[in-house]
Amino acid sequence: MIRSGRKSTAAVTAMVALVCFTQLAYGLPSPSALRVENPYFTLEPQNQTVTEWQSATFTVTAKGDEPLSYLWTYNGAAVRANSNVYTHANCQLSDNGGRVQVTVSNSFGLMPSRTAILSVNSAGTIYFAGPNGSSANTGFSTDSPWPLQYALKNVAPFSTVILLDGVYKAAGVSADGGFSLQTTDNVTIKAQNQWKAIITGSTNFGILASSYAGSSGAYTTDHITFDGLCVSNNAGDGMAVSHDSIVRNCWVIGNGRQGINISSAACSNNVIEHNLIENNGTIAAGTTVVQYHGLYLSGANNIVRGNVVRYNSGFGIHVFTEYAGVQQDNNSIYNNLTYGHTNAYGVAIWGAVNGGSLPGTNYCFNNTILDGLQLYYGTAWVTNNIILPSQHNPTTPMYVSSSAPSTVSADYNLGTNTISPVGAHNVITNVARTTMFVNLANGLYWLSATSPARNTAKPDVFGPTDFFGNGQSSVHDIGAFQYDPTLVGDTRVLDPSPADPDYWALP
């Protein structure tokens, strides 16, 4: 196996002489040169230092004969990132000292990189909360946890609250009905084990990132991170968030109103990523009014990526505002899977205040939307999506309002019905849904080997990470998932939800 950056001068000279002799013998012109390149690095991965819970991104630049392949390892174990970028998400203190390396290869050889070191600094004071915690405890260890509401009331800024496994009964624990973080900014609230800290039973919100002043939409707490919680069966919204906050890795299921509510006059600059949001919202008996959704979002500069949103009573993802003076602008929705919304569309984007004032521009790309897309007002860029019609509107995969029209730039989308406005590179197919994906009955929407979504994308329209959180430098396939032959044999059952329906834990 050749491991050096280039072939030796003697080897190249010999090859040139052989080719020249052969070409001259057949009366062909002699080449002026012959260049064969093994892969080599012009930029190797660099050491990274991040704060606990942040992500670390490693980038390399390599040259050599195309195509080039990349194999990244973390502490010696292969990670799924065949690109020149690798993102190690949600870094823990246990990741401190982690070793990252990549090997680039082509048909002529391979070259391993230097080893880069990941350093992780503490996120500040760490408190612990438990279902049976006591305010008489110190809050500084798993053996001495506080009650959750007491912890949320007493933490200092730039702190982390770790929730131990168990059920946190949310009924009546604050004036807002559920758990409420009212005054302190820059706090991380994280489950010790993903989805094992269950917030349930509130007569209103499950967990609220600030005090809420009703119709004025007055939120006072921001820069909050919710990570790995299970928020289930609360009578109101599962989670309510203000601005400059993150909701990641959460399971939000069976709440009476919105699954995640990020809709107020102050909401902006939020990241909603890698959550399972399902079966939220109710429709009042005797009515058909749809007002409760999986994710309800307003404001500007929000990112919604890598989520699975399904079976909510209203829209799956609803970008909308009624607040005067709020511009719906520069929101990016990508790498999401939505399906099972029978009363409304999977994704709806209102690019202005209801009524049309302050129109903005929003982006919807690389999603798998199996229940339709609705657009009102403003400007929408719609690219590289699988958009299939829903039961709610079986003939119109993308609905653009005529009474509140949106300016739409749409291309490189796949549908089984004509997608209007028509893009020159749209893929319209009569292939059945069951053959596009690995196994619909089990909730496995990875692309099949014969999917018409393969190799039809606009390669330069993509987010910095894929559905799983790995860095990427281009895309080839339309939809939320790039084709991966290792996922074709996935036999897990992720729908209906098992005890641990983790789409992001690869088989």
Predicted confidence (pLDDT) at residue 19 exceeds the cutoff of 60: no
What confidence score (pLDDT) does residue 33 get?
A: 46
Comparing 189-203, 205-219, 335-349, 486-500, the range with the smallest average pLDDT is 205-219
Mean pLDDT of 302-307: 96
Mean pLDDT of 126-136: 96
Q: Under a CB-based contact definition with an 8 Å cutoff, are residues 97 and 119 in contact?
A: yes
CA–CA distances in Å: residue 300 to residues 81, 196, 360, 466? 30, 32, 9, 22
Give the whole-angstrom CA distance, residue 236 versus residue 281. 9
Mean pLDDT of 304-325: 94
- Domain spans of the chain? 1-36, 37-121, 123-267
pLDDT band, residue 15 (cuts 50/70/90) = very low
Mean pLDDT of 385-404: 90
**For 329-459, where are the E strands, in sequence order?**
332-334, 337-339, 347-350, 361-365, 368-369, 373-376, 379-383, 386-387, 398-400, 407-411, 414-415, 427-428, 437-439, 444-447
Among 213-227, 287-301, 315-329, 356-370, the range of highest mean pLDDT: 356-370
pLDDT tens track for 328-341: 999 999 999 999 99
Predicted confidence (pLDDT) at residue 258 exceeds the cutoff of 90: yes
Reading the block at residue 304, the tokens are: 């919604």
301: left (phi over 0), alpha (psi -120 to 50) or beta: left
pLDDT tens track for 445-476: 999 999 999 999 999 998 888 898 887 778 99
Going by C-alpha positions, the residue among 358, 343, 216, 361 that lies closest to residue 289 is: 343
Q: What is the distance, to the nearest Å, from the Cα of residue 440 to the centroid of all Cα atoms in its chain? A: 20
Pick the CATH number of 37-121 from 3.20.20.140, 1.25.40.10, 3.40.50.20, 2.60.40.10: 2.60.40.10
What mean pLDDT, rounded, does the chain reach? 87
pLDDT band, residue 249 (cuts 50/70/90) = very high
Reading the block at residue 281, the tokens are: 């919202």
What confidence score (pLDDT) does residue 220 get?
A: 61
- Contact residues for 103 (Cβ-Cβ < 8 A; gap 6+): 70, 71, 73, 110, 111, 112, 113
Give the whole-angstrom CA distance, residue 140 versus residue 154. 13
Reading the block at residue 322, the tokens are: 């009624």
Give the whole-angstrom CA distance, residue 107 versus residue 429. 35
pLDDT band, residue 363 (cuts 50/70/90) = very high
Residue with tokens 């005890």: 499
pTM for this prediction: 0.81
Give the whole-angstrom CA distance, residue 119 versus residue 102. 18
Torsion (CA) 210, 213, 215, 221 in degrees, nearest 10: -30
Give the whole-angstrom CA distance, residue 20 versus residue 31. 7
Q: How many residues does the chain have?
A: 507
Q: What are φ and ψ of residue 433, in 5° steps? A: -55, -35
Q: CB atoms < 10 A from the CB of 59, how many?
A: 16
Mean pLDDT of 128-132: 96
Predicted confidence (pLDDT) at residue 503 exceeds the cutoff of 50: yes
Percent residues over pLDDT 90 in the chain: 60
